[in-house]
């Protein structure tokens, strides 16, 4: 919101890394309102299990909006079992065209261990070219660090953790309290 009375929510960095047959999504725990850290231990990475099919999702933006999107994603996955990309495209179409959903301020990184996708309110479903993606206020820092580490001997989790540590050293809206979920196909 650009409203002067509302200082705005900041404070999320989410990274997704695919390497060596596994995908890791990691997110920090900081939630800030304006210049104040409201919580340092929020859990912004979740595992969804729909009929034995697991999906890991990380979100940036408004928590209520993100949970609304996660619920919608679950419904799309129930309608298209085992088809994360199709469910994500359906969610993005709804998000883009539904007047209620258009007001939601969040982004998602989702994976089923095979696909790694970013879903936005602009109707985008993006697959990263370099097997690393990041969103949120420290996302660009984490993305740059993750991309630089991809040629190392580190596995996906080590890369995600190191990239998040670098982002938390640079971005004041990111902390080092991580939630990390790993999934493989």
Q: What angle do helix axes 84-97 and 63-79 make, rounded to 10 degrees?
A: 130
φ/ψ of 108, rounded to 5, equals: -130, 145
The secondary element (H helix, E strand) that includes residue 9 is strand 9-10
If you compute the radius of gyration of the chain from its CA atoms, what whole number of angstroms results? Answer: 16
Cα-based angle 162, 73, 159 (whole degrees, multiple of 5): 10
Q: Catalytic pick from 12, 13, 111, 174?
A: 12
174 included as an active-site residue: no
Annotated catalytic residues are 12
């Amino acid at each position: 919101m650009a409203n002067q009375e509302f200082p705005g929510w900041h404070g999320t960095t989410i990274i997704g890394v695919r390497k060596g047959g596994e995908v890791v999504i990691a997110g920090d725990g900081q939630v800030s309102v304006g210049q104040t850290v409201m919580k340092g231990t929020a859990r912004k990475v979740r595992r969804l299990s729909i009929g034995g099919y697991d999906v890991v999702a990380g979100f940036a933006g408004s928590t209520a909006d993100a949970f609304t999107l996660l619920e919608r994603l679950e419904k799309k996955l129930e309608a298209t079992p085992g088809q994360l990309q199709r469910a994500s495209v359906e969610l993005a179409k709804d998000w883009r065209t539904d007047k209620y959903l258009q007001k939601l301020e969040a982004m998602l990184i989702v994976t089923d261990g095979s696909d790694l996708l970013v879903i936005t309110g602009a109707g985008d479903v993006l697959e990263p070219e370099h097997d690393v993606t990041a969103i949120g206020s420290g996302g660009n820092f984490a993305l740059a660090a993750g991309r630089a580490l991809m040629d190392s001997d580190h596995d996906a989790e080590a890369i995600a953790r190191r990239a998040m540590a670098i982002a938390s050293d640079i971005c004041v809206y990111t902390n080092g309290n991580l939630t990390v979920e790993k999934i493989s196909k």
